[in-house]
Chains A and B, each alone.
Chain A
Amino acid sequence: MASLDIKGARIATLAEGVRSGKLKARELTEAYLDRVKTVDPQLNSYLLIDGAGARLQADAIDKAVASGEAVGPLAGVPIALKDIFVTKGLETTCASKILRGFVPPFDSTVGQRLAAAGTVMLGKLNMDEFAMGSSNENSSRGPVRNPWSLAHVPGGSSGGSAAAVAASLCAGALGTDTGGSIRQPAALCGVVGMKPTYGRVSRYGVIAFASSLDHPGPLGRTVDDVATLMEIIAGPDPRDATSIPAPVGQYRAAAKAGVAGLRIGIPAEYFGAGMDPEIDAAVKAAIDELGRAGAKVVPVSLPHTKYAIATYYLVCTAEAASNLARYDGVKYGYRAQDVRSLEELYTRTRGEGFGLEPKRRIMLGTYVLRSGYYDAYYGQALKVRRKVFDDFATAFTQCDAIVTPTSPIPAFKLGEKTADPLQMYLADVMTVAAPLAGVPALSQCCGFTKAGLPIGLQTIGPPLGEEVVFRVAGAYESRTDWHERLPADPSSSSPNAAAGGVS
Chain B
Amino acid sequence: MSRISAEEVREIAVLARLALTEEEVTRMTHDLGAILGYVDALKELDTATTEPMTHAVPFDCPLRPDQVGLSLSVDEALANAPRREASFFQVPRIVSKGGAGPSEEG
- List A residues at the B interface (Cβ < 8 Å): 101-103, 105-106, 197-199, 212, 238, 241-242, 244, 304, 306-307, 309-311, 313-314, 321, 325, 328-335, 339-348, 350-352, 354, 356, 359-360, 362-364, 366-367, 370, 376-377, 379-387, 389, 420-422, 425, 435-439, 463
Contacts of A420 in B (CB 8 A): 34
Task: Give how many B residues have a beta carbon under 8 Å from the other chain's beta carbons.
Answer: 55
Contacts of B89 in A (CB 8 A): 330-331
> How many whole Å from A94's CB to the nearest CB in chain B?
14
How many Å lie between the Cα of A259 and that of B41 in the bound state? 38
Q: State whether B59 touches A387 (Cβ < 8 A).
A: no
Residue of B whose beta carbon sits closest to that of A367: B12
Q: State whether B39 touches A310 (Cβ < 8 A).
A: yes
B16 within 8 A of A: yes
Q: State whether A241 touches B20 (Cβ < 8 A).
A: no
Contacts of B45 in A (CB 8 A): 304, 307, 380, 383-384, 387
14 contacts between A and B (CB under 8 A): A101-B80, A197-B57, A198-B57, A212-B54, A341-B92, A344-B92, A359-B20, A360-B28, A381-B39, A385-B53, A387-B47, A387-B50, A422-B31, A438-B56
Q: State whether B38 touches A422 (Cβ < 8 A).
A: yes
How many Å lie between the Cα of A94 and that of B62 in the bound state? 29
Contacts of B57 in A (CB 8 A): 197-199, 242, 244, 438, 463
Which residues of B from 16 to 51 have beta carbons under 8 Å from A?
16-21, 24, 27-28, 31-32, 34-36, 38-39, 41-43, 45, 47, 50-51
Q: State whether A384 touches B47 (Cβ < 8 A).
A: yes
Contact indicator per residue, chain B 77-102, by CB within 8 Å of chain A (1) or not (0): 10111110000010111100000000
How many Å lie between the Cα of A498 and that of B31 in the bound state? 35
How many Å lie between the Cα of A105 and that of B21 in the bound state? 34
Q: State whether A341 touches B103 (Cβ < 8 A).
A: yes
How many Å lie between the Cα of A158 and that of B76 in the bound state? 29
Contacts of A333 in B (CB 8 A): 80, 82
> How many whole Å from A181's CB to the nearest CB in chain B?
16
Contacts of B76 in A (CB 8 A): 105
Helix, strand, loop or mixed for chain A's interface? Answer: helix
Assess A103 versus B79: contact at CB under 8 Å? Given A367-B4, A380-B47: yes
Q: State whether B32 touches A364 (Cβ < 8 A).
A: yes
How many Å lie between the Cα of A333 and that of B79 in the bound state? 11
Q: State whether A363 touches B16 (Cβ < 8 A).
A: yes
Return the 7 tightest CB-CB contacts between A and B, nearest first: A438-B56, A351-B19, A382-B52, A332-B80, A341-B105, A335-B82, A383-B47
Contacts of A332 in B (CB 8 A): 80-82
- Among B24, B80, B91, point to the contact of A342 (Cβ < 8 A): B91
Q: State whether A350 touches B17 (Cβ < 8 A).
A: yes
- List B residues at the A interface (Cβ < 8 Å): 4, 8-9, 12-13, 15-21, 24, 27-28, 31-32, 34-36, 38-39, 41-43, 45, 47, 50-57, 59, 61-62, 64, 72, 76-77, 79-83, 89, 91-94, 103, 105-106
Q: State whether A354 touches B18 (Cβ < 8 A).
A: yes
How many Å lie between the Cα of A306 and that of B41 in the bound state? 9
Q: State whether A342 touches B94 (Cβ < 8 A).
A: yes
How many Å lie between the Cα of A383 and that of B41 in the bound state? 14
How many Å lie between the Cα of A347 and that of B13 in the bound state? 9
How many Å lie between the Cα of A199 and that of B62 in the bound state? 13
Residue of A whose beta carbon sits closest to that of B21: A351
- Among A339, A342, A376, A386, point to the contact of B53 (Cβ < 8 A): A386
Q: State whether A389 touches B91 (Cβ < 8 A).
A: no
How many Å lie between the Cα of A354 and that of B13 in the bound state? 13
Assess A380 versus B59: contact at CB under 8 Å? Given A386-B52, A425-B35: no
> How many whole Å from B18's CB to the nearest CB in chain A?
5
Q: Which of B24, B35, B38, B72 has the most CB of A within 10 A?
A: B35
> How many whole Å from A461's CB to the nearest CB in chain B?
13
Q: State whether B18 touches A350 (Cβ < 8 A).
A: yes
Assess A383 versus B53: contact at CB under 8 Å? Given A346-B17, A422-B35: yes
How many Å lie between the Cα of A382 and that of B50 in the bound state? 9
How many Å lie between the Cα of A387 and that of B15 in the bound state? 31
Q: Which of B72, B94, B105 has the most CB of A within 10 A?
A: B105
Q: State whether A421 touches B15 (Cβ < 8 A).
A: no
- Among B18, B56, B62, B79, point to the contact of A347 (Cβ < 8 A): B18
- Among A340, A421, A422, A437, point to the contact of B56 (Cβ < 8 A): A437
Q: State whether B39 touches A314 (Cβ < 8 A).
A: yes
Q: Which of A314, A380, A389 has the most CB of B within 10 A?
A: A380
Q: State whether B34 touches A422 (Cβ < 8 A).
A: yes
